[in-house]
Structure 1
Amino acid sequence: MASDRIPPPLALLLLPPPPSASFDQFRAVYESILATVFTDLLKAINGSNRIASLDIALSLPGLQSPSCQPPTKVFAGLQRIVEHIYRLIGVVCTERNIEMEAPGGIDSRVILLDFDSVRSSKSISKEFGLRNGPIVDVKSLASSKRLWGSVFYPDTPAGQELAAAFSSFYTSTKDPNGGILRPVSRTPQWTPGESLVVPGGTHESVLHHSVILGGTFDHFHIGHKLLLTATALVLQPAGTGHSSQERTITVGVTGDEMLKNKKYAQFLESWDDRSRSTGAFLNSIMDFGPPEMGASHIEQIYKPGPNGRAMVMKIRPGITLRLVQILDPYGPTITEANLSALVVSKETRSGGAAVNQERAKREFKQLEVFEVDVIHFGEVATEEVENFASKISSTDIRRRRMELAMI
């Protein structure tokens, strides 16, 4: 189709804070907004095999305040909020038969927006311009190199206020007429909640400059997005700690040889493809540098020894992403002593204890382990449960690929 040669649409959705941090409240105020925006993007695709991209910036007050820094202090609450949004995306897409991360569908990415810092001060500190995602301020978001075709916002007082703050920075750099701002009408009216993110009472304020997680990351889906976003939240934010200290996210991506016995193995993506999609997503939620910073640099490395094959991305000055091939259950966690934090899903929490046991044998420092919620589908109608599960299961995605190939 000729329409497949047209660049896919890229849009931004600005969301004011929800009334509370419960999933029921997220669904009550955001479901109709997401459905409207998704429908609009599908019209732009016009039945082609293109994939529309949607950046969802969820505003939460006080994210960059001292009480919420570093983000590890409020990690449990933040990752749960991100889980709520991705779960709701899954619900909306399942009930409306919308593809996610697949041709003819929508690729959604969630970032967290500290709007309160802009609203409560007359000027933006230069420090905020140094912040890396997935937590950004309005100025950094509006001044980034993203070229959104549309910027949606709910047509409510809080939504209008958020859009006005964004527009005050965006119009001077990209669209002098502000023509891409699009209110979403007939949306629920609500009062944004306060203190939605509560610091943990016993959590120490530890800065982690080297964070690791592992996984297969086959046929990328919203469960992967949640896990990787949570990992980025653990990383030491720019502008904190020793500014000259390099910050690194290491992702152990399971090697092809370890996956031969997986179900529908013939439809597994290659290590290169799985690593690229993982790196591209992390880059999309972390790099909000201005246009003059240019694109991230990617280097492929092949060398002998444990975890020898890797892709290295310089996301922005001071932040490096390493995608490392893993050939055993532990990967770099037992070969690199300078790691400081490990992110696991609640399904694999036992893996964190096993890693630290192996590190103790080598007299390595113990890793602080952060657990991430698993996206579940209890809110979906009974007849849609299986469909929802298949959208966030790499095995089921491969099964569907096999069934399509047999048609």
Structure 2
Amino acid sequence: MSQEDWPSLLFLPYPPDPANRDALNVAYRPSLKAALDRLRRPSGPARLIIAIPCPLLQGQLIRSKAFSWPQAQSLVAGVYSLLAAVCAQLGIPTEVDGGPGSVDATVLLIDHGRDRRFPAGFRPGIEPNNTIVVDLPTFASAYFPWRYIFSPRSELALDVYHAYLGFLEGRQTLRQDQLIPVESGLTLNIASGKTNNDRGGDAALTPTYPTVCLGGTFDYLHPGHKLLLTAGALLLQVPRETGPSSSSPPGRYIIGITGDEMLRNKKFAEHVQPWAQRARNVMAFLAQLLELNPRGWRDEGQSGAAGAASYPVEETPAGEQMRAAFRGGTIEVLCVCIQDAFGPTITVEDMQALVVSGETREGGKAVNEERAKKGWNALAVYEVDVLDAEEAPAASISATATATATADQYASKISSTAIRKKRAERAAKVGGTKI
């Protein structure tokens, strides 16, 4: 992989308090806009990791670290929603495999507070964090090398940015032209008078679960899909180790992906991606969250997944399942082809949590009704925010978008149907060739 194809990093400052959509827009929009505008290129797609430091995890030495899932998923949802709005304004496709001019962006949470100190002689390495939220030394040790590193021009951002560069030392030699300062927004903390270091203790802690399940089509993987997959992974209980000497099985993340037959009546169905391609894109995205590879991107495969060579994917001969192990075998991801509304939730008894969106909450109720008929335990149902025009800061859209970028057009930027429509329109312009 050439340096031009390496991911870039945007290291944002601590989030505002409260981290609602309006506050996130004021704090992060200028930096996001500058980084995205710099990255888009006519020669091919670009990749961006958006890192947000915030102290989330509690219980550093216990079997499972804990945090507030509603707080974490709301922050991730807010940033992905803002990302989609900025990309709509700039005309940048956000889906995976979006082609020239697109930016494939991933949001990561870094467990770090301004009072976090490290002893003299501390050597950063990879800590097997029990959630997908990683600490700053682990992030520096597992995510590199970078094409560019963008840092907002603010004291709040520079503090953690300089700490990060110290941990990155020895892993990548950076040229000055790879370190790009960008405009900073305004971060306010007005909710409770507390510092960012107190944020993690304000909300009730969320339990984690040995097996988490969710489902979707995942056609042209976009920010809405990424939020759903990230939110589910946050709930996963990850043991520190597995194997003969451990009594803990790996954390299991089961992703039901709609089969091709069920999508034949979708709008622009001829442009629906095949099941195997959609499953590979899910695996590649989750690898960025789950696989802590000390070689960073150096082991990437053709899919562009973080550490792709370090997690061999097993596929069934009939192409109905895809399985991979991450983080030394402590996490197992299973993609299952589903042909009905329930999928593995009513064929696999040993699962505990189901993640749904606001659009599919009724499906969660139906799943538990079916499980009750079998005498199985009900699943804990968690609902993620929906990324749509109503969830975006309306004032910021009207103030910054062009006259043609209406709320409906903004919503279309995070719809698989709209992505297929655009591809159909492009294909028609070039004589019906599928793109």
Fold shared per TM-score above 0.5: yes
SS in structure 1 opposite 2:350?
Answer: coil
Which AA in structure 2 matches 1:114? D
Partner of 1:332: 344
How many residue pairs were aligned?
392
1:394 to 404, 416, 421: 416
Q: Shift of residue 220 of structure 1? A: 1.2
CA deviation string 1:284-335 (max 9, x = no partner): 12222312986211110146xxxx8200011222111101001111111111
Alignment counterpart, residue 322 of structure 2, candidates 311, 314, 334: 311
Which position in structure 2 is the counterpart of 1:322? 334
Q: How does 1:7-406 map to 2 (within 5 A)?
A: 7-20=4-17, 21-42=19-40, 45=41, 47-48=42-43, 50-61=44-55, 63-66=56-59, 73-101=67-95, 102-103=98-99, 104-116=101-113, 119-122=116-119, 129-131=127-129, 134-144=132-142, 146-175=144-173, 179=176, 182-188=179-185, 190=187, 193-194=195-196, 195-197=198-200, 200-201=203-204, 206-239=207-240, 244-291=248-295, 295-302=310-317, 309-317=320-328, 318-378=330-390, 379=394, 380-381=397-398, 383-406=405-428
Any conservation in 2 of the 1:133–1:288 contact (CA below 8 Å)? no
Separation in 2, partners of 1:149, 1:126? 22
2: CA distance between counterparts of 1:149 and 1:116? 26
Counting aligned pairs with the same residue, the percent is 33
Distance of 2:181 and 2:414 partners within structure 1: 28
Q: Relative to 1, partners in 2 of residues 1:285 and 1:171: Cα closer, same or farther, differing over 3 Å?
A: same
Q: Cα distance, 1:182 vs. partner?
A: 2.0
Query: Which amino acid is the alignment partner of residue 284 of structure 1?
Result: Q
State the alpha-carbon separation in 2 of the partners of residues 125 and 244 from structure 1. 29
Compared with structure 1, are the counterparts of its residues 115 and 240 closer, same or farther at alpha carbon in structure 2 (3 Å cutoff)?
Answer: farther
Distance in 2 (alpha carbons) for counterparts of 1:349 and 1:233 = 19
How far does residue 112 in structure 1 lie from its aligned partner after superposition?
0.3
- Gap change, CA 1:406 and 1:198, over 3 Å in 2: farther
Q: Is the 8 A contact 1:111 1:133 kept in 2?
A: no
Instruction: Please report how far the alpha carbon of residue 142 of structure 1 lies from its aligned counterpart in structure 2 after TM superposition.
Output: 0.7
Cα separation, 2, equivalents of 1:73 and 1:132: 11
Asked if the contact 1:72–1:233 (Cα under 8 Å) also holds between the matched residues in 2, the reply is no
Q: Give the letter aligned to residue 298 of structure 1.
A: V
Q: Structure 1 stretches (4+) deviating beyond 3 angstroms?
A: 4-7, 69-73, 123-128, 177-181, 188-193, 195-201, 237-244
Q: CA deviation at 1:351?
A: 0.8
TM-aligned CA deviation for residue 26 of structure 1: 0.8
Using structure 1 for the length normalisation, give the TM-score.
Answer: 0.88
Distance of 1:87 and 1:256 partners within structure 2: 28
| Residues 87 and 154 of structure 1: CA distance in aligned 2, closer, same or farther (over 3 Å) | same
Q: Secondary structure at the match of 1:218?
A: coil
Distance of 1:356 and 1:127 partners within structure 2: 42
Q: Which sections of structure 2, spanning at least 5 residues, go unmatched? A: 190-194, 297-306, 430-435
